[in-house]
Structure 1
Amino acid sequence: MSDLRDELKQLLDEAKWDWLMPHEERGRVIVVAGGLDLVEVGVAIANDNLSSVQHWISQCLIYKPSDEQKAVWSQDQAKRFDALIVQPYVLVQEQKG
């Protein structure tokens, strides 16, 4: 498991919303709440840890972006996200500031 965690840490990157839009159009973007560790969520998804993933979904800690969020993000050219690809998904977390 630590090998996967290390691999995902290396894949963690920064992205602008316009770079993420093609993935969103295919329904592949998952928003991860700021209180969660993006790599931990990626590990859980990669390992099919359904109990953790279902818990996060039920608590609205991971979710697909709303139309309102997408509209706001599209207006903000400076908006940046931490992004992690865990096939077939792109996990994103809003950067603060």
Structure 2
Amino acid sequence: MSDLRKELSETLDEAEWEWLIPHVQRDAVIVVSLDLDLLDVGEAIATDNTSSVQQWIENQLITKPSNTQMGEWNSDRTKRFNTLILQPYVLVQEIAA
């Protein structure tokens, strides 16, 4: 495991939707598809791996939260997410109920 990946894995955490709202308000939340590994995405962003990141964006595997998603999450403020803080972003991945 690379030093960066190890460092990122130590910052993986869980958060409730309500805790993420301030980060959404500053447009810093990136939703990561369940088809991707959160650490892989964090590592790619941290190392400026633009080809991978661009491909994920084009395939809508990493996105900004949609109004529909935010509406669903607002109705269940205890909805939980795996999170990875990668300044200035907060990468989130839904945890299946």
- TM-score bracket for the superposition, by shorter chain length: over 0.9
Q: Quote the Cα distance in structure 2 between the aligned partners of 1:23 and 1:93.
A: 14
2:17 and 2:67 map into 1 onto residues whose CA distance is 13
Aligned residues: 97
Structure 1 counterpart of 2:60 = 60
Amino acid at match of 1:93: Q
Are 2:95 and 1:95 aligned?
yes
1:6 is matched with 6
Larger proportion of helix? 1
Unaligned runs of 5+ in 1: none
Structure 1 stretches of at least 4 aligned residues deviating more than 2 Å after TM superposition:
none
Residues 18, 78 of structure 2: 8 Å contact kept: no
| Match in the other structure for 2:32 | 32
Identity %: 60
Q: Secondary structure at the match of 1:76?
A: coil
In structure 2, give the amino acid aligned to 1:28.
Answer: A
1:75-86 counterparts in 2 under 5 A? 75-86=75-86
Q: Which amino acid aligns with 1:8?
A: L
The Cα shift of 1:78 comes to 2.8
* Runs (5+) with no aligned partner, structure 2: none
| Pairwise CA distance, 1:77 | 2.9
After superposition, the C-alpha distances for 1:5-43 in whole angstroms (9 at most, x for unaligned) are: 001001000000110000000000000000100011000
Partner of 2:21: 21
Per the alignment, residue 45 of structure 1 pairs with 45
Matched residue type, 2:42: G
**What's the RMSD between the two structures over aligned residues?**
1.0
